[in-house]
Each structure stands twice: as structure tokens, then as C-alpha cells.
């Protein structure tokens, strides 16, 4: 135990180590944030196309179906490798962007299913009521369907955000210096020569972010459920 | 007869869901001020018939006119503003308050200003004794309250025709009375209506004409007294023996 506390003190008093940890943490946050944002937007486009009624969207729907099937059917690590070593195997192309795109393309497939499910979960009677009053489909969708769909989408989307944050740890496999990689580096023989403290510290960092997001999602969810209260 | 204005005219209406032929050629006229009750066994196509009129179901074949206008994909929104509908499951918008349910369409569609719509909604809510629920969400209302709000929501648009699709089928016996008396009042006020219902006594009481549908066809129609006391077809006799 003495050794553990010594190492703990060493980690938090050595500027280079703290610096490494924070750099790694920032990269993890950067990739996660932009991947989630981009993934959500792309997922929204896919979901809207798939739930849309228009006939001329049919070819696009077909393409998106294949896209979602392929992404969900292959490992994220392999998708990351393909992005790094095949699609963006371009000299001097920024690694961060490649990583963001890899996770965004992956997340889009899952987000689209979440959003699609949320839209389809809204009772058809709600749409019919709006249409029967003479409202245009656009208004019905924006004022009636979407607000109700969001209640079902938010919790599942929160899970997806958490998944992405944790999954970005695999960028260490392509040599990027994220939080996971920082922990490994600090604990290696040239540095602290002990993995326990840096790795548990990194774990706490991940946990803190995930916990914060869970907390925010719960609050938002509660607010959205106002109209369900039978009082 | 001839000077009565034709509100809705249905010609050769057919509707199939895949191989399931639900409506097999319906011809029907609804004149101004008429209160038509549509009866028939379950699965006969009554609701589908009603839902084809405002195109919640796309007809497979046939034409439907509102006054002199053929209803098509382009004018359907305007047509729906003239043809109100009340649903079996009320379909109040869950994420909107009672007041918002009443004012959303009339304001969005520029039928009334926000203030006018709200004043009108309050008046109607007061009339059905639910003005205290104006800011409540539908989840806090009973079935009967929801359906009465749904009826005045349809009235907010001041439609020329009102369609009722089994308005009391999802209600408990106690609230049925409240809803029926509100419908009665609306109908007595001169609203041209079509009602699909299983409430035989109510049908007899308010109908100016009864239409009986079986297997997607109108097989008999007439005044309530004719229909209920001297049915012409064996199918209707059999039906009435079972339900009365």
C-alpha cells in the first residue's frame, strides 16, 4: 500500500505525467465530441430518409440500409483500421480527423436506428389526428411526432454517447495518444514502471465523464416526461 | 330533395390492403344537414370507408368529391379543414396541453388569430365543463373527457362535415353517456355528420339515414324507422336480431 500512495503522489506531482494525462484526456474528449455530433447529424439524416414517405427517396433508403447493416455487422476496431490504413492512408492527413470520421460513421449507424425507432414508436393516431385537422405533414412531424419521439430517443442516445466515449480508447491501437494510451505510457518502464495508479486514474477520468453525461441525460429525460404526468 | 346541397359524394370506392379487399365499390351521397349512421358487422369496412373520405386511407379506386371538388393529393389539406374527424381512441396530442390541442390547427392554418382561437376554445371548454383542464396534458384526463375535448377540437375548425369513427367504443359505460349527449347536441345544431357506431339506440335516435355495410358494400339504407323495424335484406334482419 505504501508503494501505491507513493506512486499516486508521484503521478500527481510530476508535471510531465499530468500533462500527458490531460493531453490524452483532451484528445479522448475531442474525438468523442465531434464523433457524437457528426454521428448524430448523419444518423438523423438516415433516420429521416428511412421513415420518410417519398418514393424518390427509395434508392437512398436502400443505400442507407446496406450502410447500417455493414457498420453494425463489423468490429469497430476493424473499421478504425480500414479508415487509417485504407481510406485515409494519405501522408500527413490529420489523424484526429480520421479518428473522428471513423467513430462518426460508426455512431451514425447506431444513432439512426435509435432515432428511427423513436419516430416509429409514436402512435400513428397522433399523426392522423394532426393530418385530419388539415395540418401539413411537415407541421405534424415537427410539432407532434418529433417532440414525442425525442422522449424515446434521448435515453438511448445517451447510451450511444457513453459507448462512443469509451470505445474511442481503441485509437491507442493506431498509435494515437488518447487517455488510454497516456495511462499505458505513464505506467511503462521508462516512466513510472507501474501501471496500477495511471490506469486507475484514467479509469476514474472515463467514469467521471460518463457519470456526468448520465446525470445530464436523466435531468433532460425528467423534463421531457412532464406531459406524461397524470396529475 | 333536389335543392339540398351535396356535401360528399363517393363513386366506385374500392380499397384493398394487399390481397384483403375491404371496400368493394361504394357509391354514396351525403347531403347538407344529414346525419348518417353507418352500421355493419366488425370487419365490414365501415371505418375504412370513413377514413377513405378524408384520405387517412388512400383509396385503391374510385372518386370522392367534397361539394363539387374532386379530392386529390393536392387539395387534401384544404378538404380536411372542411371535413373534421373524431377518432375511436381520441388521439389528443400527448405533448400538447388541452388548450394547445384546441388551438394548434386553427392558428397554424390561419383560421383564427391566437387570441380568437383561445377565446373560442375557452368558450367550448366551458360548455363541456372542462375549462379547468385547459392547461392540463391529455394524460391527466379520463377517456370521456378526452373524447369530449377531441370533439370540440374538431369543432374549432368549423368544419362543414364531421366524421365520427366509433366515438364511444373505447369508453367505459359511464362516460359513454356524456360523449353521446355532446354528439347529440352537435348533431342537433345542424352539423352534417357521418357516424360509425355500435350504439344502436343512439343510432336510431339521431340518424336521419342509416347505411348498412357488409363485406365492403352498402347492402341496405333507409330511415331509422324503416331500417330497424322493417329491414329489407336477410343480412340486416340477422344482424339486428343479434344486436338488439
Q: What is the ipTM of this complex?
A: 0.94
Tell whether A199 is covered by a domain: yes
The per-residue pLDDT for range B138-148, each reduced to its tens digit, is 999 999 999 99
Tell whether A22 is covered by a domain: yes
Residue A52 has a pLDDT of 85
Judge: A126–B54 Cβ closer than 8 Å, yes or no.
Answer: no
Asked if A214 contacts A158 with a C-beta cutoff of 8 angstroms, the reply is yes
Residue A200 has a pLDDT of 95
The per-residue pLDDT for range A85-107, each reduced to its tens digit, is 999 998 889 999 999 999 999 99
Lowest mean pLDDT among A190-199, B31-40, B106-115: A190-199
Residue A53 has a pLDDT of 79
Extents of the domains making up chain B: 6-89+157-243, 93-140
Cα–Cα distance for residue pair A130/A126, rounded to 1 Å? 7
The per-residue pLDDT for range B98-126, each reduced to its tens digit, is 999 999 999 999 999 999 999 999 999 99
Give the distance from residue A44's alpha carbon to the nearest chain B alpha carbon, in angstroms: 21
What lies within 8 Å, CB to CB, of A182 at 6+ separation is: A20, A21, A23, A24, A25, A198, A202
Residue A226 has a pLDDT of 78
Residue A50 has a pLDDT of 94
The per-residue pLDDT for range B172-225, each reduced to its tens digit, is 988 999 999 999 999 999 999 999 999 999 999 999 999 999 999 999 999 999
Residue A231 has a pLDDT of 55
Asked if A170 contacts A77 with a C-beta cutoff of 8 angstroms, the reply is yes
Residue A219 has a pLDDT of 93
Asked if A76 contacts A106 with a C-beta cutoff of 8 angstroms, the reply is yes
Give the distance from residue B211's alpha carbon to the nearest chain A alpha carbon, in angstroms: 23
Judge: B93–A129 Cβ closer than 8 Å, yes or no.
Answer: yes
State whether residue A209 is helix, strand or coil: helix
Judge: B89–A125 Cβ closer than 8 Å, yes or no.
Answer: yes
Give the residues across from B209 on adjacent strands.
B36
Judge: B85–A125 Cβ closer than 8 Å, yes or no.
Answer: no
Tell whether A6 is covered by a domain: no
Residue A146 Cα distances to A42, A160, A193, B72, B229, angstroms: 17, 19, 53, 27, 51
Interface membership of A3 toward B (CB under 8 Å): no
Judge: B95–A147 Cβ closer than 8 Å, yes or no.
Answer: yes
Kindly list the residues from chain B whose CB atom is less than 8 angstroms away from the CB atom of residue A139.
108
Q: Residue A182 is part of a domain; what is its CATH number?
A: 1.10.3720.10
Judge: B81–A133 Cβ closer than 8 Å, yes or no.
Answer: yes
Most B CBs within 10 A among A122, A124, A133, A145, hence the mutation to make, goes to A133
Give the distance from residue B202's alpha carbon to the nearest chain A alpha carbon, in angstroms: 25
Residue A33 has a pLDDT of 97
Residue B196 Cα distances to A99, B51, B54, B180, angstroms: 60, 11, 14, 13
Tell whether A1 is covered by a domain: no
Q: Which of residues 138-157 of A touch B (CB under 8 A)?
A: 139, 143-144, 147-148
Tell whether A225 is covered by a domain: no
**What DSSP character marks residue A142?**
I
Asked whether residue B1 carries a pLDDT value surpassing 90, the answer given is no
Cα–Cα distance for residue pair A1/A79, rounded to 1 Å? 41
Residue A3 has a pLDDT of 84
Tell whether A147 is covered by a domain: yes
Asked whether residue B2 carries a pLDDT value surpassing 60, the answer given is no
Asked whether residue A178 carries a pLDDT value surpassing 60, the answer given is yes
Tell whether A47 is covered by a domain: yes
Residue A223 has a pLDDT of 87
% of chain A beyond a pLDDT of 90: 84
Asked if A115 contacts A47 with a C-beta cutoff of 8 angstroms, the reply is yes
> Nearest-CA residue of chain B relative to A149?
B95
Judge: B94–A230 Cβ closer than 8 Å, yes or no.
Answer: no
Give the distance from residue B5's alpha carbon to the nearest chain A alpha carbon, in angstroms: 23
Kindly list the residues from chain B whose CB atom is less than 8 angstroms away from the CB atom of residue A130.
93, 104-105
Nearest to A135 among B54, B94, B109 (CB): B109
Asked whether residue B3 carries a pLDDT value surpassing 80, the answer given is no
Residue A54 has a pLDDT of 82
Most A CBs within 10 A among B94, B146, B154, B158, hence the mutation to make, goes to B94
Task: Tell me the pTM.
Answer: 0.87
Q: Residue A20 corresponds to which cell in the numbers above?
A: 500527458
Interface membership of A227 toward B (CB under 8 Å): yes
Of the candidate CATH numbers 3.80.30.20, 3.40.50.11030, 3.40.50.300, 2.30.40.10, the domain formed by B6-89+157-243 belongs to 3.40.50.300
Helix intervals (H) in A121-188? 124-132, 137-139, 146-167, 179-187
Judge: A147–B92 Cβ closer than 8 Å, yes or no.
Answer: no
Contact residues of B toward A, CB < 8 A? 54, 56, 77-81, 84-85, 87, 89, 91-96, 104-105, 108-109, 137-140, 150, 153-154, 157
Residue A230 has a pLDDT of 64
Asked whether residue A71 carries a pLDDT value surpassing 90, the answer given is yes
Domain coverage including residue A176: 16-220
Tell whether A3 is covered by a domain: no
Instruction: Identify which of B37, B21, B78, B90 has the alpha carbon closest to the alpha carbon of residue B54.
Output: B78
Residue A225 has a pLDDT of 83
State how many domains chain A has.
1
Axis-axis angle for helices A95-120, A58-72 (nearest 10): 110
For chain A, what is the mean pLDDT?
94
Cα–Cα distance for residue pair B30/B209, rounded to 1 Å? 10
Give the distance from residue A220's alpha carbon to the nearest chain B alpha carbon, in angstroms: 15
Kindly list the residues from chain B whose CB atom is less than 8 angstroms away from the CB atom of residue A148.
94-95
% of chain A beyond a pLDDT of 70: 98
Residue A1 has a pLDDT of 58
> Nearest-CA residue of chain A relative to B86?
A129
Q: Residue B235 corresponds to which cell in the numbers above?
A: 343480412
Provide the edge-to-edge strand list for the sheet that holds B69-70: B20-31, B6-17, B61-66, B69-70
Q: What is the mean pLDDT of residues B41-68?
A: 95
Q: How confident is the model at residue A224 (pLDDT cuts 50, 70, 90)?
A: confident
Most B CBs within 10 A among A134, A151, A231, hence the mutation to make, goes to A134
Sign of CA dihedral A105, A107, A109, A112: negative
Q: Residue A144 corresponds to which cell in the numbers above?
A: 407532434
The per-residue pLDDT for range A140-153, each reduced to its tens digit, is 999 999 999 999 99
Kindly list the residues from chain A whose CB atom is less than 8 angstroms away from the CB atom of residue B154.
133
Residue B212 has a pLDDT of 96
Amino acid at each position: 500500500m505504501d508503494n501505491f500512495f507513493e506512486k499516486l503522489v508521484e503521478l500527481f506531482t510530476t508535471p510531465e505525467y499530468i500533462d500527458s494525462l490531460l493531453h490524452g484526456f483532451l484528445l479522448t474528449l475531442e474525438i468523442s465530441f465531434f464523433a457524437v455530433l457528426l454521428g448524430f447529424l448523419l444518423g438523423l439524416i438516415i433516420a429521416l430518409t428511412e421513415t420518410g414517405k417519398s418514393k424518390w427517396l427509395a434508392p437512398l433508403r436502400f443505400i442507407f440500409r446496406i450502410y447500417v447493416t455493414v457498420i453494425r455487422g463489423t468490429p469497430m476496431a476493424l473499421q478504425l483500421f480500414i479508415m487509417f490504413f485504407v481510406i485515409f492512408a494519405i501522408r500527413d492527413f490529420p489523424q484526429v480527423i480520421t479518428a473522428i470520421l471513423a467513430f462518426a460513421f460508426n455512431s451514425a449507424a447506431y444513432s439512426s436506428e435509435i432515432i428511427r425507432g423513436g419516430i416509429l414508436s409514436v402512435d400513428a393516431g397522433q399523426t392522423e389526428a394532426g393530418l385530419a385537422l388539415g395540418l401539413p405533414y411537415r407541421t405534424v412531424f415537427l410539432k407532434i411526432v418529433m417532440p414525442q419521439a425525442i422522449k424515446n430517443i434521448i435515453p438511448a442516445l445517451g447510451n450511444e454517447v457513453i459507448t462512443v466515449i469509451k470505445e474511442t480508447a481503441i485509437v491507442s491501437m493506431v498509435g494515437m495518444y488518447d487517455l488510454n494510451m497516456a495511462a499505458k505510457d505513464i505506467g511503462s518502464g521508462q516512466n513510472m514502471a507501474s501501471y496500477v495508479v495511471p490506469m486507475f486514474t484514467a479509469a476514474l477520468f472515463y467514469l467521471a465523464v460518463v457519470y456526468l453525461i448520465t446525470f445530464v441525460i436523466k435531468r433532460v429525460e425528467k423534463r421531457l416526461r412532464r406531459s406524461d404526468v397524470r396529475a | 330533395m333536389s335543392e339540398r346541397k351535396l356535401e360528399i359524394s363517393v363513386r366506385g370506392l374500392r380499397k384493398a390492403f394487399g390481397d384483403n379487399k375491404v371496400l368493394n365499390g361504394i357509391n354514396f351521397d351525403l347531403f347538407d344537414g344529414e346525419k348518417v349512421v353507418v352500421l355493419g358487422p366488425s370487419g365490414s369496412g365501415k371505418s375504412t370507408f370513413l377514413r377513405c373520405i378524408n384520405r387517412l386511407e388512400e383509396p385503391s379506386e374510385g372518386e370522392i368529391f367534397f361539394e363539387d371538388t374532386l379530392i386529390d393529393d393536392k387539395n387534401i389539406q384544404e378538404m380536411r379543414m372542411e371535413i373534421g374527424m373524431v377518432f375511436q381512441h381520441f388521439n389528443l396530442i400527448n405533448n400538447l396541453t388541452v388548450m394547445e390541442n384546441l388551438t394548434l390547427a386553427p392558428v397554424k392554418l390561419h383560421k383564427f388569430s391566437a387570441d380568437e382561437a383561445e377565446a373560442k376554445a375557452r368558450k367550448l371548454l366551458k360548455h363541456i365543463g372542462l375549462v379547468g383542464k385547459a392547461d392540463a396534458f391529455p394524460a391527466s384526463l379520463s377517456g370521456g373527457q378526452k373524447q369530449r375535448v377531441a370533439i370540440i377540437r374538431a369543432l374549432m375548425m368549423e368544419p362543414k362535415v364531421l366524421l365520427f369513427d366509433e366515438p364511444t367504443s373505447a369508453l367505459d359505460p359511464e362516460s359513454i353517456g356524456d360523449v353521446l349527449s355532446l354528439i347529440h347536441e352537435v348533431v342537433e345544431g345542424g352539423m352534417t355528420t357521418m357516424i360509425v357506431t355500435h350504439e344502436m339506440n343512439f343510432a336510431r335516435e339521431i340518424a336521419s339515414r342509416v347505411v348498412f355495410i357488409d363485406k365492403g358494400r352498402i347492402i341496405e339504407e333507409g330511415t331509422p324507422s324503416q331500417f330497424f323495424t322493417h329491414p329489407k335484406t336477410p343480412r340486416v334482419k340477422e344482424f339486428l336480431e343479434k344486436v338488439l
